[in-house]
């Protein structure tokens, strides 16, 4: 069909048919069930953008298979590590893992890694409908391509608070031609080597490096037109639609670095969901999406059906050196190979933060959503700075650069292994004299792996405070992601947070999210209830930033955690303890 790949489940008719079949099956099964998946993780030669490279794939594919389940289901993924010498874990981004904190898939935090040749089962309940994804959480294996979509539908008999006729899922990522192992060495080298901007942006693992889809339509005089048969691994997945229908677009960003702006040419979008939480619907012509975020938007196919339209994603917040990635919205019965006559959407200027903030401020909870407690028990203010330690470039939070321990926290805390990590709590605050608009006066920092021990069931406020990086007049965007919880985003502000800013907190309809951005030189205020027994990462979702220490660990109610499976404990001090006990 044309020279582009069909979107696999996108034809509306096919979709409806499939939906009917699935509905019958679902009714037959009477309620929730266990969805079984069997995965092999391995390196593959793949061509995400026309340049052959090694990617980390699942079951011989990149990206990994989509998980689809219904609220109340149990997802069971039997994973075999087919890598040669590397361990692996998978994090189920947005799934809170109530009762199964060992299945959160974070190396050094929730579990021991799955060693080469071994298999292990991730088993967890999905308790909330929404758009999620999964990805590696060890070293920089997410950057290597270890990711895929995870969609949770409402339970049988339940309805979403909006209507749509069909849906598509767009998993956005960025791609480097440099081997990820080498990127890891770069970031930990002295002197520091920056990995640079991505070569390509990918939609569902597909982008174009050496050519442009838009060039053929005469809209990009600078680049070579793509000559695609459609069967290429890097051919775009086309979204086939019928006129005058409403579609749900599920968008998730698993980029390693890039903040993105997504748009559909000539179509406006209604934003209805973020990170698995319903939003007060609002309309937009383009949307910013940061690494770790997910959205659902609705769009109506109310444009001229004799034409096709571009869907685009471009870099935001960093001076873009990476071309826009495109795919096509194909109106039935127009041929899918007909290129859109209009130029691709023009992204806002990369540093137009007003545009970003305007979008972000519109993200508010749907009426009837859970409200935050009106007071907090503990406030943790986290200043992020770029630092140096013995000549290494690092990121630090309140002057501590996270260096993960060998023994995962969950087991260490549960078994009271005092030497497994720093037992001094990391600081709840930073000096009020710190000048956030300037490079650090003393860029020295220290490595640390202490834990913020949270009293169970208390309400925690986190103030994320941005600052100037090592270089003058540079302050970067950081999307912070919390494991095991959603938080309410109480507000965003400019400059240094002060208690006076509390008056501006939105306690009425703040959005519930698992990821929130801090803008350059700004602050972001979050509130959550520490009600999920376990040990949970809270970190910048930019892969190199986390790798350079930009994260903290929260833990709460670990004594309530049930029997941690042996596999999650079979390393480091927990492994030693359990084996020693037995042999002595």
Q: Which residue matches tokens 């992020």?
A: 384
Give 115 or 246: the residue with its C-beta nearer to a second copy.
115
Exactly one of 139, 236, 448, 510 binds a second copy (CB under 8 A); which one? 139
Angle at 228 between CA 231 and CA 265, to 5 degrees: 105
- For 322-406, strand residue ranges (E) read 325-331, 378-389, 392-397, 400-402
User: DSSP readout, 510-574?
Assistant: PPEESEEEE-TTEEEEEEEE--S-EEEEEEESSHHHHHTT-EEEEEE-GGG-----GGGTSSHHH
Q: Does 566 bind a second copy (CB under 8 A)?
A: yes
Q: Round to whole Å and give the CA distance between 538 and 8.
A: 35
- Our finding on whether 416 is near a second copy (CB under 8 A) is no
Interaction of residue 57 with a second copy, rule CB under 8 A: no
Distance separating alpha carbons of residues 483 and 101, to the nearest angstrom? 10
Interface with a second copy includes 116 (CB under 8 A)?
A: yes
Instruction: For a second copy, give the closer residue by CB, 87 or 305.
Output: 87
Residues contacting 55, CB < 8 A, separation 6+: 43, 44, 45, 46, 48, 62, 144, 145
Does residue 430 have a cis bond before it (omega within 30 degrees)? no
Nearby residues of 547 by Cβ (< 8 Å), 6 or more positions away: 139, 140, 184, 187, 188
Task: For residue 307, give the 3-state DSSP assignment.
Answer: coil
Cβ(424)–Cβ(342) under 8 Å?
A: no
Site for a second copy, residues 257 to 286, rule: CB under 8 A: none
Positions in 187-206 near a second copy (CB under 8 A): 188-189, 193
223 binds a second copy (CB under 8 A): no
Whether a cis peptide bond, with omega within 30° of 0, leads into 295 is no
Residues 567 and 112: beta-carbon distance below 8 Å: yes
* Residue 72, Cβ density class (10 Å: 0-12 exposed, 13-18 middle, ≥19 buried): middle
Listed ranges 121-129, 174-182, 206-214, 494-502: which one lies at the site for a second copy (CB under 8 A):
174-182
Cβ-based nearer residue to a second copy, 182 or 244 = 182
Smallest distance from a second copy to CB 115, Å? 6
CB of 86 to a second copy, least distance (A): 4
Pick the stretch among 184-192, 303-311, 317-325, 457-465 that binds a second copy (CB under 8 A): 184-192
Q: How far is the CB of 81 from a second copy (least distance, A)?
A: 9
Among 39, 138, 175, 538, which residue interacts with a second copy (rule: CB under 8 A)?
138
Comparing CB distances to a second copy, the nearer of 141 and 475 is 141
- Measured in whole angstroms, the distance separating CA 535 from the mean position of its chain's CA atoms is 19
| DSSP 8-class letter at 26 | H
List the one residue from 76, 280, 406, 531 that touches a second copy (CB under 8 A): 406
Smaller CB separation from a second copy, 117 or 196: 117
The number of residues making up the chain comes to 584
| Contact map string, positions 513 to 552, toward a second copy, x by CB under 8 A | ----------------------------------------
Nearer to a second copy, 41 or 69 (CB): 41
In the list 118, 352, 494, 502, the residue contacting a second copy (rule: CB under 8 A) is: 118
Which span (122-130, 310-318, 465-473, 563-571) binds a second copy, by CB under 8 A?
563-571
- Binding residue count for a second copy, defined by CB under 8 A: 43
Interaction of residue 44 with a second copy, rule CB under 8 A: yes
Binding residues vs a second copy (CB under 8 A): 43-45, 54, 84-88, 108, 113, 115-118, 138-141, 179, 181-182, 184-185, 188-189, 193, 404-406, 566, 569-572, 575-576, 578-583
């Amino acid at each position: 069909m044309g020279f582009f790949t069909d979107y696999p489940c996108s034809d509306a008719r096919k979709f409806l048919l499939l939906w009917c079949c699935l509905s019958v099956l679902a009714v037959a099964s009477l309620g929730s069930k266990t969805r079984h998946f069997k995965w092999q993780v391995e390196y593959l030669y793949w061509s995400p953008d026309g340049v052959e490279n090694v990617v980390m794939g699942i079951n011989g594919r990149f990206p990994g298979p989509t998980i689809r389940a219904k609220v109340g289901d149990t997802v069971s993924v039997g994973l075999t590590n087919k890598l040669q010498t590397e361990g692996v874990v998978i994090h189920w981004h947005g799934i809170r893992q109530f009762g199964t904190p060992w299945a959160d898939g974070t190396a050094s935090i929730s579990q021991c890694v799955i060693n080469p040749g071994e298999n292990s089962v991730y088993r967890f309940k999905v308790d909330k409908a929404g758009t999620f994804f999964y990805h590696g959480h060890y070293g920089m294996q997410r950057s290597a391509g270890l990711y895929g979509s995870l969609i949770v539908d409402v339970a049988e008999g339940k309805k979403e608070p909006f209507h749509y006729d069909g849906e598509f899922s767009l998993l956005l990522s960025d791609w480097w031609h440099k081997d990820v192992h080498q990127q890891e060495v770069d970031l930990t080298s002295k002197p520091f080597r920056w990995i640079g901007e991505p070569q390509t942006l990918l939609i569902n693992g597909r982008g174009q490096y050496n050519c442009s889809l838009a060039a053929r339509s005469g809209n990009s005089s600078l680049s070579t037109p793509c000559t695609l048969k459609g069967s290429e691994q890097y051919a775009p997945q086309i979204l086939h639609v019928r006129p005058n229908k409403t579609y749900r677009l599920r968008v998730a960003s698993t980029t390693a670095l890039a903040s993105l702006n997504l748009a559909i040419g000539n179509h406006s979008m209604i934003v209805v969901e973020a990170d698995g939480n319903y939003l007060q619907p609002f309309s937009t012509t383009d949307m910013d999406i940061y690494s770790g975020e997910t959205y659902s938007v609705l769009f109506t196919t109310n444009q001229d059906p004799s034409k096709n339209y571009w869907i685009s994603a471009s870099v935001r917040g960093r001076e873009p050196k990476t071309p826009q990635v495109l795919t096509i919205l194909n109106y039935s019965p127009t041929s899918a190979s007909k290129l859109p006559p209009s130029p691709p959407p023009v992204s806002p200027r990369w540093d137009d933060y007003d545009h970003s903030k305007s979008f972000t401020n519109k993200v508010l909870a749907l009426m009837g959503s859970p409200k935050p407690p009106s007071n907090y028990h503990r406030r943790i203010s986290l200043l992020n700075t770029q630092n140096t330690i013995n000549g290494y470039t690092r990121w630090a939070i309140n002057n501590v650069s996270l260096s993960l321990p060998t023994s995962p926290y969950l087991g260490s805390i549960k078994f009271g292994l005092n030497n497994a990590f720093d037992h001094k709590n990391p600081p709840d605050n930073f000096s009020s004299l710190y000048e956030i608009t300037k490079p650090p006066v003393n860029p020295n920092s220290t490595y640390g792996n202490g834990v913020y021990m949270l009293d169970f069931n208390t309400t925690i406020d986190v103030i994320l405070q941005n600052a100037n990086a090592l270089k003058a007049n540079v302050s970067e965007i950081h999307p912070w992601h919390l494991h095991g919880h959603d938080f309410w985003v109480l507000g965003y502000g400019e400059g240094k947070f002060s208690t006076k800013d509390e008056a501006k907190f939105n306690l009425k309809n703040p959005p519930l999210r698992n990821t929130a951005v801090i803008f350059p030189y700004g602050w972001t205020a979050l509130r959550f209830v520490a009600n999920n027994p376990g040990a949970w990462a809270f970190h910048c979702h930019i892969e190199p930033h986390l790798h350079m220490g930009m994260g903290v660990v929260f833990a709460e109610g670990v004594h309530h955690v049930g029997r941690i499976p042996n596999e999650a404990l079979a390393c480091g001090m927990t492994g030693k303890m359990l084996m020693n006990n037995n042999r002595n």
